[in-house]
Amino acid sequence: MSITREEIAAFADGQLSPEREAEVAAAVASDPALAEEVAKHRALKAMLQGHFAPIAEEPVPENLAALLRPEPQQEVVDFAAAKERREQKRKLPSWGWVAGPAMAASLAIAIFLPRGSDTPDGYADAQLASVLDQTLVAEQTGSADTRILLSFQNDEAEFCRAFSAPDGGGIACRDDIGWKFEALGEGSEAASTDYRMAGAGDGDILAIAQELAQSPALDAEAEREAREAGWR
């Protein structure tokens, strides 16, 4: 009777069906080599249990447990659909420069900070733009109202920054006009960013940043160089 390594492991763990367990038990009883394999597997399992059991019994840290609790009315972010929409936008024909402003004007977005009358729809206002222009992750204070979570470049080589504000957070990328929103929390019903999250926390924002990023997040030196170049 042929017995696989998987069946030996399942037998040692007591996970075989009653019929197959009886067959394997008979083979193990008559074959010292099989009996040795079973003993080694059980010894390894006992060692691992003894090592990790104390860790498994510790309570989950609150900051990690909070990430596992669903927020009320949380929207599920469809990364694949959002990515497909962004791909379609990049396939605009040569007259895209005409359609572009119309698309930007169609973005009715709830901004978390006061807006000036000269702020284009879909872009950060002067106050938030100043934070995005000047604040480096390594230099900001923990008490700042608006914090920068990280900076990265998207697949269009634009510099983008994920931020967290008292009323919500988001991601903005620097183009020829200013800091254009790519994702927002607490968006209005009329908002039409690729990603829109109700009650988004920092974890949600960072997850979307990872999907948008073409390369790893900028380190402190790369952030400083990008700021000196005007994020262009």
Indicate the burial class of 222 (C-beta count within 10 angstroms; 0-12, 13-18, 19 or more). Answer: middle
Same domain, 188 and 146: yes
Domain holding 28, by residue range, is 5-57
CA angle 74, 199, 108 (to 5 degrees): 100
Return the percent helix, strand and coil in the chain, to nearest 5: 45, 15, 40
Same domain, 184 and 81: yes
| Per-residue confidence (pLDDT) for residue 82, from 0 to 100 | 64
Please say if the pLDDT value at position 23 is more than 80: yes
Higher pLDDT, 93 or 207: 207
Q: CB under 8 Å to 11, separation ≥6 — which residues?
A: 21, 24, 25, 28, 38
Same domain, 93 and 170: yes
Higher pLDDT, 56 or 7: 7
Same domain, 96 and 163: yes
Predicted TM-score of the model (pTM): 0.48
Same domain, 120 and 191: yes
Same domain, 123 and 82: yes
Please say if the pLDDT value at position 131 is more than 70: yes
Q: Beginning with the edge strand found earlier in the chain, give each strand of the sheet holding 159-165 in spatial order.
A: 147-153, 159-165, 168-174, 179-185, 195-197
Q: CB under 8 Å to 113, separation ≥6 — which residues?
A: 125, 127, 128, 146, 165
Report helix, strand or coil for 149. Answer: strand
| Mean local confidence (pLDDT), 104-111 | 32
121 near 104, Cβ under 8 Å?
yes
Read off φ and ψ for residue 150, nearest 5 degrees.
Answer: -170, 170
Q: Which residue has the tokens 């977005």?
A: 109
Same domain, 34 and 128: no
Higher pLDDT, 68 or 102: 68
Please say if the pLDDT value at position 18 is more than 70: yes
Residue 67 within any structural domain of the chain: no
Interhelix angle for 5-13 vs 18-30, to 10°?
A: 110
| Count of domains forming the chain | 2
CA distance 135 to 130: 8
Residue 70 within any structural domain of the chain: no
DSSP 152-197: EEBTTS-EEEEEEETTEEEEEEE-SSSEEEEEEES--TT---SEEE
Same domain, 80 and 192: yes
Task: Write down which residue in 57, 83, 99 finishes a domain.
Answer: 57
Same domain, 44 and 141: no
